Amino acid sequence: MRESRHAAVEEALDRHGAILDELTADLDDPAQVFAQSFRLTGRLHRRNPELSKVLLRDGPSLVSSDKGLAPR
């Protein structure tokens, strides 16, 4: 069960990361990309409260993952 939950969390965070990639594609400065992504992720609790809960609960355990937000 834990592995399937882990995979689901990675997938959800990867989808969020893909959205961030799309919304910051026109930015060249890595600092601007980070700032914009940080702001958008901060707004996640209003736009997608369930994913926000997942990120807060399980996100830190995925910092070293090769999927989700970690590679970004």
Task: Return the structure tokens found at 63.
Answer: 């910092």
pTM: 0.71
Neighbours of 28 (CB within 10 A): 7
Task: Tell me the three state secondary structure of residue 30.
Answer: helix
> In 10 A of CB 72, how many CB atoms?
15
Longest Cα–Cα distance of the chain, Å, equals 41
Summarize pLDDT for 18-66 with one digit per residue, the tens.
989 999 999 999 999 999 998 988 888 888 888 788 777 876 776 677 7
